[in-house]
Amino acid sequence: MAAHLNRIVLGTAFFLASFLALAFMVLPIVALFVHVPLTDLLHQFTNPVVTDALIVSLKTIVVAQIAILLFGTPIAYLLASRRFPGHAVVVTLVELPIVLPPAVAGLGLIVAFGRFGLLGSTFEWLGIDVSFNQTAVVFAICLVAGPFYVRQAIASFEAVDRNLIAASRTLGASPSRTFFKVTMPLARGGLAAGEALCLARGLGEFGATIMFAGSLQGRTQTLPLAVYTQFEAQGGLTIALAISALLVVISLAILLSLKATSLWQLSRQSSLSPFARSRSV
């Protein structure tokens, strides 16, 4: 009797705790859509503040994602396939921006690449200005969001069966052909997941961007910066809510694509397993 009562009490406590936790996480998101009538939110999407911020976000995130793929993939493969003195230190340095406060990352960008930073004179001599413009936004996204992709890419490359790579090389394939025809196809599911996480983090970037690029409408003001600016402005709450709702929809789309990619990868792995093949015969 006492054991049964304990199970009831424990079950009830777990249910209440779960309900409160779920309500705490869901209620702020729901409130974004019910605080202002839907027609008012939709009307704000034609506001120049929203359209300008959307254009800046799309332009900078596309450039940043391309740069992260081009430079992040090689370093991830190198760290996954090679062991050298200081390997753990390099991996830690690559992952450090993940836990670094965004404002600290932004200040680091200023003192490294700003006009009076370590490389400021070099960029000035080359005629390149990388602060308080869209290049600065791209730099901020790459620094803060790039490690999410690199970390996932390292894990994906490490999960590739080395026997398949060795077999490809034994059959006469060059290292580059093996990489593009064997390694990349096997790791693409994990790479896509890392890219989705990187994209989500990049779209939500705030601290490093406002420190290094500022919040200039039509130039450096991304969607998160526009939310903050309009929230602080007189009568700008509706615009801030509209942008927030747009970011919720975009984030949901990214999350669903990430889940779809994970399910596709799991189904692909199961279909390639000997057990799955024996069942299909």
Superfamily of domain 42-267: MetI-like (1.10.3720.10)
In the chain, domain spans: 42-267
Give per-residue pLDDT as tens, 151-175: 999 999 999 988 999 999 898 999 8
Nearest alpha carbon to residue 122 among 109, 133, 112: 112
Give per-residue pLDDT as tens, 235-262: 888 899 999 999 999 999 988 888 887 7
Instruction: Give the predicted TM-score (pTM) of the model.
Output: 0.87
pLDDT value at 121 more than 80: yes
